[in-house]
Every structure is written in structure tokens, then in C-alpha cells.
Amino acid sequence: MELDALHDSRDHRDLEPSAQHQSTQPGSEADMNPRPQYIDPGYKSALKLQGKVGLITGGDSGIGRAIAVHFAAEGANVVINYLSDNEHEDAQKTLSLIESYGGKGISIQGDISDESFCRTLVEKTVGTFGKLDILINNAAQQYPQETIEDIAQEQLEHTFKTNLFSMFYLVKEALKYLPEGGRIINTASVTAYKGNKGLLDYSSTKGAVVSFTRSLSQQLAERGILVNAVAPGPIWTPLIPASFPADKVKDFGTETLLKRPGQPSEVAPAYVFLASNDASYITGQIIHPNGGTIING
């Protein structure tokens, strides 16, 4: 198995982001300093997803890459989706990691805010691997603004189409193939619960993701499909330097009880758990890897 000794052998508690900024979203993991840890070197696979096929949006980097690597380590084959050309290097790196951890993978570039592409994404997944067992709705974008007056209609529509509408599109298509025992896992956020004054539209989409998860779980329970979500706190991913100015990036995550941002490697095991038979009696629930924020609701 390949390991990047530079960043995968470090203790995740040593994470201290340097001041940095990237000019385009969703950002590039290859340009981050330090690079995120996608799997803990001490992680032990139990092949909990042996023979499964997972589709992960935003799977090229950050939390998505970590999920993909963990799924491969647990025996799954993985399809990763990514948005733009500047993420191609990250996507290729993730594919090589999937293979080094024993899985097979393909990457599919495209915009999940487009319903027709979502249909194509699911069809290519099934066309390649013959089935779909796990849908991970992970991709999202955020554009900080100081006040609601600063949020233009174009930004508002784009944020909702990417972060929320895409989940409707992908689930509708995936339900043609998901079997009894299939899993849908959505990425929410701590901002859904505590809010964020500078991320009003983003936080609103994540609140909707929580309600979407709980409502969809009620619809699909009779079909034996389990629907859950993960609501991360401040996690060190490319979206952070691509969203915030360099001085804020340097202090990212220090407001948590643990006084640091989390690594993607500390979030991905929650997706493994929800995708595995260990979570066979769990649906409509949210897991909170957030560094100690107490959540009510």
C-alpha cells in the first residue's frame, strides 16, 4: 500500500495550517501546506465493504478523498466525481490511492448542479461496475459574504444547486439501482446547527441537508435503504484556503475544544461505519466529528 510519508505518517494532532489562499474553488489539495491526512497509518481494515460499489461526489480531495481511500481499504470499488480541470491532478492521485489500497476506481468530471449530468454520473457508475450500493453526497461549495445584502442571486442559486439540489438529482437516479440494504450518506456541517454569520447561504443549505436526510430516511425505510449524514466541524480540506483569506486560514479550527482543525482521516471512518453492516439499525441520524462542539437537535 502506498503511503505519503510526508503527511500520512504525521500525528494528526500536530496539524497547524500555514497562512495561504487559493483563488479558485473547490481548491487543490496538491497546493495545500500542509497537505491533509487522508488515512491514519494505524488504520486497520476489516473488509467491511467487501464487494460494494460506492459513488462519491467531490471525491478527488479532502473528505471525499479520505472516504474513497477508506472505502478501498475496506474492499469497495469507488467512483469519484470532481468538478473542474484544476482538480484533475487531485483526482488522478486519488485513483492511484484507491488502487494502492486494493480497490478499483474511476473518476468522472462534471457539474452535479446539472440534473442531466447527475443522471450520466450514476449511469456510468453502474455501467462500469454493474451496480451501485452506496451513494455519498459530499461535494459542496461556499462563498463567504459579510452580509445578506452581499449575496447575489447568482451566488445563492449556485450554492443551493451544488450543495442541495444535486442530492435530489442523484438520489432520484440512484434509486433505480440501490438494492435493499443500500446506503445514502450525505455530508452536512456543524454550521447547520450553530450557524455561521459569514456563510449564510452555505449554512442554510447544510441545514436543509439535515432535514433532507431525516425526511428521506422516512421515505426509504420500507425499501430497506438507510439514509444518514455526517456533519463535520472545521476540517482541513482544499475548500478552506479556497474560501478564506490567508490570515483566517492560519487560525482555522482553533476555536474548537481541541484547539485545532480536524483531518479528513478523522472524518472518513464515520462514513465507513454508516456504509457497513455495523450501522444496520441506524437511519435518519447525523454523526458529528467536530472537535467538541455540543449539538442540540
Residues serving a catalytic function are 202
Q: What is the DSSP string of 3-46?
A: --HHHHSS-GGG--PPS---SSSS--GGG-SSPPPSS-TT----
264 within 8 A of 37, measured Cβ to Cβ: yes
In whole angstroms, give the CA distance from residue 282 to residue 70.
20
- Report the Cα 188 to chain-centroid distance in Å: 9
In whole angstroms, give the CA distance from residue 173 to residue 196.
32
Strands 77-82 and 105-109: parallel
Say which residue the cell 489539495 belongs to. Answer: 29
- Residue 179 sits at φ, ψ, to 5 deg, of -85, 175
Q: Distances from the Cα of 59 to the Cαs of 42, 136, 140, 279, 292, in angstroms?
A: 22, 9, 11, 22, 26
**Cell numbers at 79, concatenated:** 467512483
Helix or strand (DSSP H, E) at 57: strand 53-57
